[in-house]
Amino acid sequence: MSDLHLDLKNLIIDALGLEDISVDDIDNDAPLFGEGLGLDSVDALELGLAVQKHFSIKIDADSKDVRQHFASINALANFVASKQ
């Protein structure tokens, strides 16, 4: 697991207050929303803000690709890496 993947998992757990989940519980390919980790639209907003603040990047909420960027840890790591 890369440092970025680990950092993102810890960010998700901390930002969303997922006390019953550890980094080992989050699969890099599993969906973050719906049947995967089970996040919802409110979580998406909080996570988007946390990612922007933590990594000092801008996320265009109106972009058609935003949903794909937050599909999984792998997708989010690729997105963050492309913005740095």
The pLDDT tens digits of the residues spanning 4-14 come to: 999 999 999 99
The pLDDT tens digits of the residues spanning 13-64 come to: 999 999 899 999 999 999 999 888 889 889 999 999 999 999 999 988 777 8
**0.85 exceeded by pTM:** yes
More reliable by pLDDT, 78 or 60:
78
Q: What is the pLDDT of residue 1?
A: 65
Q: What is the pLDDT of residue 12?
A: 95
Domains in the chain: ranges and CATH: 3-83 (1.10.1200.10)
Phi-psi region of 62 (alpha: psi -120 to 50; beta: other; left: phi over 0): alpha
Q: What is the pLDDT of residue 52?
A: 94
DSSP 39: B
